[in-house]
Amino acid sequence: MEKETKKKTNRKFIIIVSALVLVGAIYGGYKYIHSLSHEETDDAQIRANMTPIIPHVSGYLKKVYVTDNNKVNQGDTLFVIESQDYQVQFEQAKANLAAAESEVAVSKASIGSYQANANASRAQLSSAGESIETARVKLRRASDDFERYKNLYANHSITAQQFEQAEAAKEEAQNQLAMLKNQERASASQSKAASSQTEISEKQVDVAHAKVKAAQAQLEAAKINLGYTVVTAPIAGQLSNVDIQQGQFVSPGQALFYLVNSQDKWVIANFKETQLTEMLLGQKVGIDVDAYPDTEFEGEVAAFSPATGARFSLLPPDNATGNFVKTVQRLPVKINFTNANDQEKLGKLRSGMNVNVDVHLK
């Protein structure tokens, strides 16, 4: 009986071992055949764009409209910053613009006045020239008369009084000509000054126009800053933890929380460099998400990283120093979901979730 029992036990053991070997051989064969046309890795995660919410202006928070993990649409108001200071700056900029525009009007009016003065000075200069020519004619006639009277007086043909009158007329003509020449020089100086003042006024108009442009720029900047006091969602998505509260002071460039894009998701899979031999862009990919093992996702190879992950690390390895140990490197590969229209499925996914990817090489 003991021998028969031992034989039965040995037979069961042999059957179990044979079954295990057969199952292992079948599984090993399947894996080998599968590996000939597939590349797999579990070093993969879901990614999505995470937009930091950063205020452009500083100030105290007046009101916060969102809480942790809220879903928002593009353009929804997230929070509002106290705007009184920026409203004052905006009104001041408007006043500065109005003053600059008034300065342009005054400068243009001054140009007309100075141009009128310049025209009058030129007219006076022209009139002085004509008067000088008349005075020259009178002086020439008086000089001729004086010479005649001088000869007649020498011959005692005229009285001394007549001679003195001719001499006085000559001196008067000379003085008149000298006075008109002085007036001509004064008119020339005035005309030159009026022309210079006109040019200065024209340049002042240019300066006033420049001030208007500067005031317009300041007004636009003040308007933009006033608009920045209302912070809205740049995209549709879901918020992270909103760790802000009413009355808190915020500064420009300060990342307050994140807005995760809920529409655009992809997978970054880190394949060993030895797995990339037959991988190409556009190859189909099966994606298994650890959180949802019963849900199937499909994708395709979209891009290969230009360098291995080690080269992008904070302290990339330098194999030229110390002892060298060869390590298989991994290259990030971007995989896009091809069933992007199935938002019910993709809506379950979150950035950072672990996935297994299976690239179909053939």
List the CATH number of the domain containing 358.
2.40.30.170
**7 in any annotated domain:** no
Helices (H), strands (E): how many in the chain? 4, 12
- Do 216 and 91 fall within a single domain? yes
- Do 311 and 219 fall within a single domain? no
pLDDT at 12: 72
pLDDT confidence tier of residue 268, bands split at 50, 70 and 90: very high
**243 in any annotated domain:** yes
Q: Which of 14-28, 102-116, 236-250 has the lowest mean pLDDT?
A: 102-116
Say which DSSP state 307 is in.
Answer: S
pLDDT confidence tier of residue 82, bands split at 50, 70 and 90: very high
- Do 171 and 137 fall within a single domain? yes
- Do 264 and 343 fall within a single domain? yes
Share of the chain above pLDDT 90, in %: 41
Q: Residue 45's beta-bridge partner residues?
A: 268, 354
Q: Give the residue numbers spanning the domain of 126.
A: 84-227
- Do 325 and 236 fall within a single domain? no
- Do 240 and 294 fall within a single domain? no
Is pLDDT of 6 > 60? no
**16 in any annotated domain:** no
Between residues 220 and 25, the one the model is more confident about: 220
Distance, CA of 164 to CA of 211 (rounded, Å): 69
- Do 153 and 245 fall within a single domain? no
**32 in any annotated domain:** no
- Do 129 and 210 fall within a single domain? yes
- Do 345 and 222 fall within a single domain? no
pLDDT at 8: 57
- Do 176 and 117 fall within a single domain? yes
Between residues 24 and 307, the one the model is more confident about: 307
- Residues 282-317 as b/e (b if ≥16 CB within 10 A, e otherwise) read ebebebbbeeeeeeebebebbeeeeebeeeeeeeee
Is pLDDT of 261 > 80? yes
**242 in any annotated domain:** yes
Distance, CA of 84 to CA of 91 (rounded, Å): 11
Please report, for the domain that includes residue 76, its CATH number: 2.40.50.100
**311 in any annotated domain:** yes
Mean pLDDT computed over 341-358? 84
- Do 164 and 278 fall within a single domain? no
Tally of domains in the chain: 3
Say which DSSP state 108 is in.
Answer: H
Please report, for the domain that includes residue 117, its CATH number: 1.10.287
- Residues 164-183 as b/e (b if ≥16 CB within 10 A, e otherwise) read eebbebbeebeebbeebeeb
Place of tokens 């929070």: 79
- Do 159 and 220 fall within a single domain? yes
Are the CB atoms for 242 and 61 separated by under 8 Å? Answer: no
Distance, CA of 168 to CA of 149 (rounded, Å): 12
**15 in any annotated domain:** no
pLDDT at 315: 79
Which pair of tokens denotes residue 151?
Answer: 């000869």
Average pLDDT over the chain reads 80
**342 in any annotated domain:** yes
